[in-house]
């Protein structure tokens, strides 16, 4: 587990309750936390108060973690959800050159691969046989990609398994697809939707600040482009996740600005299904080895980011996910006590974090998720991608909750 450099006792914070810690919190932070807890809404505080929470240390940080867990219980109850899915990276060839990525390869390297749409469909068939309800499809960006390759992947998977939910193509891939086809963005997204795209990953966000993005990758899409893709997807009825990569060259102020930006977007469109904090995995990356980033998040940063997301996004994006593949099992459980309510997907074949140096593995079975959740004193529940169907998973007990109505888009 990452070691906290300046704060002791963090691993024991789940044993605290609000009455234990409240008297020890500085008045400014306590007042902000109490306003959020009272309203169950992150809009109850100012941006300046949010910055103060983001910089909390010592007893103030413990108060932030306890408050986030209280708010999680009020907004989401005692369930911890997960989705049974397979991750399919269709190629590792990529010209973008992100310094935080150790997955991509140049076209002449020995270990490159490229899957045809039929091969992607075969992996989806295999996933379905293992109980998956979703495939998450992303890949590198190679030169010379067939113009309608992304569309053809969708057609192949839906022809093989019509009921499979396809969660695919980052905003960076969408921008590349627009460039390849010459279509405008709205029409391109509509074409993908009509050919089987169900939801879009809100990845390629990293930090939505162009100064930081220029450090991470000079060739990546801009903040404005990311926002445009997500806004347009929402307006075309395509829901998305939202993400943030932390623990590299950013500051806590960047976290606040990104979360408040996502909140503004959600208040306008209602299209986000969840927020996923992604801890920077540094070991095998150029960003770290060139001295442009610190050595990943500390324990305190991991916990604080998840708690801050719960507090600032409350009333807007109420599903906060832990990215277990970037964390070890103990740390992922601690994040569930710091405001998170979702364990993400089983993945079955995770490559990107593993190549960067993550050691949590490529697959967590539903049974393992259930055990980890029960160890936290919470109730495991399998969900679909959009959180509209939830099936509780308890010993000798299983029932399907009433299906909820899909949210309306602005």
Same domain, yes or no, for 127 and 114?
yes
Same domain, yes or no, for 70 and 115?
no
Q: What is the pLDDT of residues 237-249, one digit of tens each?
A: 999 999 999 999 9
Under a CB-based contact definition with an 8 Å cutoff, are residues 114 and 91 in contact? yes
Q: What is the pLDDT of residues 5-29, one digit of tens each?
A: 334 468 899 999 999 999 999 999 9
Q: Which two tokens stand for residue 288?
A: 């770290």
- The size of the chain, in residues, is 410
Among 18, 45, 76, identify where a domain stops: 76
Does a structural domain hold residue 90? yes
For every one of its 410 residues, what pLDDT tens digit does the chain have, with 9 covering 90 and above?
343 333 446 889 999 999 999 999 999 999 999 999 999 999 999 999 999 999 999 999 999 999 999 999 999 999 999 999 999 999 999 988 777 776 668 777 888 999 999 999 999 999 999 999 999 999 999 999 999 999 999 999 999 999 999 999 999 999 999 999 999 999 999 999 999 999 999 999 999 999 999 999 888 999 999 999 999 999 999 999 999 999 999 999 999 999 999 999 999 999 999 999 999 987 768 788 888 888 899 999 999 999 999 999 999 999 999 999 889 889 999 999 999 999 999 988 644 444 444 444 567 899 999 999 999 999 999 999 999 999 998 764 444 444 444 444 44
CATH number at residue 271: 3.20.20.70
Distances (CA, A) of 386 to 201, 323, 401: 12, 17, 14
Q: What stretches of 77-116 show up as alpha helix (H) in DSSP?
A: none
Same domain, yes or no, for 45 and 91?
no
Does a structural domain hold residue 317? yes
Does a structural domain hold residue 65? yes
Q: Which stretches does DSSP call E strand in 311-400?
A: 342-345, 379-383, 390-392
pLDDT at site 103: 63
Same domain, yes or no, for 69 and 177?
no
d(CA 311, CA 317): 10
Same domain, yes or no, for 63 and 116?
no
Determine the Cα angle at 290 with ends 289 and 292, to 5°: 105
Same domain, yes or no, for 85 and 72?
no
pLDDT at site 109: 84
Same domain, yes or no, for 281 and 351?
yes
Does a structural domain hold residue 409? no
Same domain, yes or no, for 27 and 108?
no
Among 50, 76, 102, identify where a domain stops: 76
Does a structural domain hold residue 134? yes
DSSP state of 277: E
Q: Under the phi-then-psi rule, with left for phi > 0, alpha for psi from -120 to 50, and beta for the rest, what region is 315? A: left
**Which residues span the domain enclosing 186?**
79-392
pLDDT at site 293: 83
Does a structural domain hold residue 160? yes
DSSP codes joined into one string, 107-126: TTSTT--B--HHHHHHHHHH
Among 76, 97, 123, identify where a domain stops: 76
- Sorted by sequence, the CB contacts under 8 Å of residue 8 that are 6+ apart come out as none
Same domain, yes or no, for 57 and 129?
no
d(CA 373, CA 314): 22
Does a structural domain hold residue 406? no
**Could you give the number of structural domains in the chain?**
2
């Amino acid at each position: 587990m990452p070691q906290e450099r300046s704060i002791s006792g963090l691993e024991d914070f789940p044993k605290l309750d609000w009455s234990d810690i409240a008297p020890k919190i500085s008045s400014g932070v306590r007042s902000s936390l109490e306003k959020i807890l009272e309203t169950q809404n992150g809009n109850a505080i100012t941006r300046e108060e949010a910055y103060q929470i983001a910089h909390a240390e010592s007893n103030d940080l413990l108060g932030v973690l306890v408050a986030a867990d209280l708010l999680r219980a009020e907004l989401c109850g005692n369930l911890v959800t997960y989705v049974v899915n397979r991750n399919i990276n269709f190629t590792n060839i990529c010209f973008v050159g992100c310094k935080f990525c150790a997955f991509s390869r140049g076209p002449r390297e020995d270990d490159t691969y490229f899957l045809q749409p039929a091969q992607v469909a075969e992996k989806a068939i295999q996933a379905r046989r293992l109980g998956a309800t979703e495939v998450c499809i992303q890949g590198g960006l190679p030169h010379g990609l067939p113009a309608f390759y992304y569309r053809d992947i969708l057609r192949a998977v839906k022809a093989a398994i019509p009921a499979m939910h396809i969660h695919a193509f980052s905003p960076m891939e969408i921008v590349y697809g627009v460039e390849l086809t010459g279509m405008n963005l709205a029409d391109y997204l509509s074409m993908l939707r009509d050919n089987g795209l169900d939801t879009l990953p809100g990845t390629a966000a990293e930090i939505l600040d162009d100064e930081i993005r220029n450090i991470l990758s000079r060739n990546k899409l801009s903040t404005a482009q990311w926002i445009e893709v997500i806004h347009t997807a929402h307006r075309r009825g395509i829901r998305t996740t939202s993400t943030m990569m932390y623990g590299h060259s950013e500051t806590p102020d960047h976290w606040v600005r990104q979360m408040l930006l996502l909140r503004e977007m959600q208040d306008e469109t209602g299209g986000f299904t969840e927020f996923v904090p992604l801890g920077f995995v540094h070991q095998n990356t150029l960003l770290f080895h060139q001295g442009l980033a610190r050595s990943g998040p500390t324990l305190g940063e991991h916990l604080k980011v998840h708690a801050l997301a719960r507090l600032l996004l409350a009333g807007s994006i109420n599903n906060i996910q832990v990215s277990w593949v970037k964390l070890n099992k103990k740390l992922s459980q601690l994040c569930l006590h710091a405001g998170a309510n979702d364990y993400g997907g089983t993945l079955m074949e995770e490559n990107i974090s593993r190549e960067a140096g993550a050691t949590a593995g490529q697959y967590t079975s539903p049974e393992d998720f259930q055990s980890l959740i029960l160890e936290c004193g919470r109730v495991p529940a399998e969900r679909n991608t959009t959180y509209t169907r939830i099936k509780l998973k308890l010993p000798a007990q299983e029932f399907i909750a009433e299906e909820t109505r899909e949210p309306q888009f602005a």
